[in-house]
Structure formats: structure tokens, C-alpha cells
Amino acid sequence: MSNKISEALDILTEIGVPLDRQTKRRRLRLALTLLAVSNVKPGDDWHSAAYWQGKNSWSVTTREIINFWNQHYLEDLGKPISSGSYDDVRRKDLALLVPSGLILRSAGNPNANTNNPTRSYAINPEAVSILHSYGTSKWQQNILEFKRKFGDLSQRLDRGTEQIKIPVRLPSGITLELKAGQHNAIQRAIVEEFLPRFGNGAKVLYIGDSDKKILIRESHDLLDLGFEKFTDTDLLPDIVAYDSVRNWLFLVEAVHSSNPIDPVRHLLLEEMTRNCTAPVIFVSAFQNRNSFRQFVADISWQTEVWIADEPKHLIHFDGEKFLGPFSNEKGL
């Protein structure tokens, strides 16, 4: 994935486009759509992004968007996109970006029919500051101003009724609320029981709830530790925490119905953290022994298992490193 696509996804994430609900291919197309409408090519800086300034400004039709992709981002696409699929761009890609407030619908001709193939799209001049300031100290402030003006698309799309939530206290003293459910109950136990016992009060750098909504993402801390810049949160474990005293990094999966750290997941997480400056501890967390039994054959060697119902103990999936007798003498 090219840097510009990663940056485009970063922008879309911050303004509230619900990327976590999209397939990997759809996320790619959403990023490419933003790049095409703003006329940002692989070697361009974001401060050169084009936007609607009236007649003769940069704007593109859906066919021109596809042509832009094929001309400038063919390597990321893998193969050319047929110009005949222009309607997919309108119905699936622009359908998310226009309501976000980022892109104007039919720049220069707002009365054009929805199916008019000459309808063109452009960056909203009220939103261009978040593109031009990307990578600068003003970016986050411009994101906040954008959200105050246009709202958060993810929240607007979430029309569900208010649900019971589980308070989660973090080592820093902040309280979060997770939606009620068994998966999130395990995450709460990880934060309130596992990390204080075994993490030395580690700082939580990332946590998401069972809806895959990011609740905490300390991007700067993750980058400082050597994480590669990431946009695909499906690759991240449920909780990432850092013990700065021992320089240990904890990657913890809350396992309810799926996704323990099996050999394949272990390998993927090792790839993600291959440049990390802190040694990594991989943990699969379960609510109880019955749940653990369902996955015991899948657990990867050189990882840890923690069971919330028996929080004082760890199960170490390897032998020799911790092999030895336990003393019955009190305090040893």
C-alpha cells in the first residue's frame, strides 16, 4: 500500500468515515476516491490538494475518478478498473464521502440529476483545511473544527438505541464505556485485573470495543515504539499496552467466540511489531476455563494465556524457560 493511500485512510478515519465496517478492498477505493477528487498523486503533498473555488476549479466525474486511479495508482489496484463501473463509484464510494461533508455533490451544477454521468465532484472548500494541514501541528485542531461543523459520520450512521455499557477504568484514571457483552467484559477484566497484576500499571495505547470502534489509539506512542503506521484496525489485537518501567509491550486478545493467538495470528502480530523497540508479550485472555478449553489446541507456543475468573495466574505456553519447582515456603 502506497504512503498516500495510508495517509488518505488516516484522514478518513479521523473525520469519522466508518472504515472499520468496510472490506479491505472498499477501504482502498475510498482512499483512492479522496485522492482523485483532491487531485493528489503519489508524489504530491497534501497542501497542494485541489478544491472547489468556482468555475474552472478541479472537479471530476465518476469516469474521470476511475481514469485517475488507473493512471496514478494502478500498482495499488493490481489491475485496471473498467470505466464501465463508474456507477459503483457513485453508489458505494462517494455515497460515504459526500455525507461526511468532505466532498461536494455535483460541483458547479448542484441541480444535476443523480444519474447524470457529467455530474462532477470536488473537495468542499469548508473542508480543505484538513487536507492542507495534514502532517502539521494544526491538523488535529482542524479535524475538531470540521467535526463541529459537519458532525461525525460514524455516529450519524449508528441509529441504534442507547445500550447498557460497561465502565472500564484505565491505569491513567480515565474511564471508558464499552457496550455490554461477553467480549467487552473480558476487555474490562484485562484493563482492571490483568494489567494491574502483570502489566506493572502499563499504559493502554490501543483499545476497541466489540463493534470495532476505536476507543483509544495513542498513535504517537505506537509509532515511537516502532509500530509501522497502520490504518487497518482488523490487524491490531484488542488491547495494546506498554510497561515503560520494564520496556515490555503487551498485545492482548480478548477471546470469547474467536480469535485467540494461534500460530497464524502470532506470526501476523510478530510481523506488525518486527521493528518495535520493546520486547513483545502475546496474551490470549479468556473469561473462564470452559471457554479456554474450546481453544486450547489452537494456542501458539511462546504466548501466554490469562483467565479472568482466576486472575492471579498465567498459563505459559512453553516449557523450559519457566520450568522449576515451586517453594512451599511463605513469601518465596
pTM of the model: 0.50
Q: Are residues 225 and 297 in the same domain?
A: yes
Q: Residue 216 corresponds to which amino acid?
A: I
Sign of CA dihedral 174, 213, 255, 248: negative
Given a cut of 50, whether residue 80 has pLDDT beyond it is yes
Q: Are residues 151 and 237 in the same domain?
A: no
Q: Are residues 126 and 246 in the same domain?
A: no
Given a cut of 90, whether residue 176 has pLDDT beyond it is no
| Rounded CA separation 148/69 (Å) | 31
Pairing of strands 214-217, 203-208: antiparallel
Q: Are residues 274 and 300 in the same domain?
A: yes
| CATH (domain of 193) | 3.40.1350.80
Residue 55's domain comprises 3-157
| Rounded CA separation 284/253 (Å) | 5
How many distinct structural domains can be found in the chain?
2
**For residue 213, is it within any domain?**
yes
Given a cut of 60, whether residue 78 has pLDDT beyond it is yes
The angle subtended at Cα 170 by Cα 167 and Cα 175, nearest 5°, is: 40
**For residue 332, is it within any domain?**
no
The pLDDT of residue 231: 47
Average the pLDDT over each of 19-28, 57-66, 206-215, 250-259 and give the range with the smallest value: 206-215
Q: Are residues 100 and 176 in the same domain?
A: no
Domain boundary among 107, 133, 157: 157
Using pLDDT thresholds of 50, 70 and 90, give the confidence band for residue 84: confident
Sequence length of the chain is: 332
| Rounded CA separation 296/332 (Å) | 30
| Rounded CA separation 302/262 (Å) | 10
Domain boundary among 94, 128, 157: 157
**For residue 327, is it within any domain?**
no
